[in-house]
Structure 1
């Protein structure tokens, strides 16, 4: 799956589990690690895990093996690394604290 297709796939799958405030950052010109970052918000730690778990399950079904998943036991932030797309699922307060959108727009 090409990176733009994977980006659309990710957005679709996090929307399926009602992730809020989905933002897609094109970081191809800023990073050699990934092409896109998807940042979204979950309403609780259970919701964070549900979003990440659904994404991992659907990616595997589509033939995309995640490179890693970090923070599943966290109550604040789960990161799913799909190679060309890295997904940050965050609680509102954590998202506000780290301001990834602002950070990556300033690079």
Structure 2
């Protein structure tokens, strides 16, 4: 699966679990870390965990190797490393504190459309 399709899969999985303010940063040419960062947040630790689990499960269902998932037990900032795509699922408070969108301000924002259910 190419990185653009994986990014869309991760964003859709987050949306399916009611993630808020889903933003995708195109990291190509900005950082060698990944092609895309998918960033979103939730209002509770449990919802953060549910979103992260959904992203991981959908990736694995599509034979994507999830290299690492960190922060799941705490449910405050979960990082799901899928190689070319890294998803960051924050608790609302942590998202505003770390503000990855500002930190990686050189990265263009990708606009993706979520299908209406």
Band the TM-score falls in, shorter-chain normalisation: over 0.9
> Number of paired residues?
107
Q: Deviations over 1:9-58 (max 9, x none)?
A: 11111111000000000011111120000100011000011001111111
User: What is the distance in 2 between the residues matched to 1:88 and 1:41?
Assistant: 8
**Cα distance change on mapping 1:53 and 1:75 into 2, 3 Å:** closer
User: What is the distance in 2 between the residues matched to 1:43 and 1:65?
Assistant: 28
Q: 1:10: which partner in 2?
A: 10
Q: 1:103: which partner in 2?
A: 103
More helix by share: 1
User: What is the distance in 1 between the residues matched to 2:31 and 2:68?
Assistant: 18
1:79 CA drift (Å): 0.5
- Aligned residues: CA RMSD: 1.1
1:106 CA drift (Å): 4.7
Q: Which runs of 4+ in 1 moved over 2 A?
A: none
Q: 2:85: which partner in 1?
A: 85
Alignment of 1:24 onto 2:24: yes
Gaps of 5+ in 1: none
SS in 1 for 2:86: strand
Normalised by the size of structure 1, how large is the TM-score?
0.95
In 1, are the aligned partners of 2:78 and 2:88 still within 8 Å (CA)? yes
Q: 1:76: which partner in 2?
A: 76
Gaps of 5+ in 2: 108-117
Q: 1:39: which partner in 2?
A: 39
User: What is the distance in 2 between the residues matched to 1:68 and 1:75?
Assistant: 15
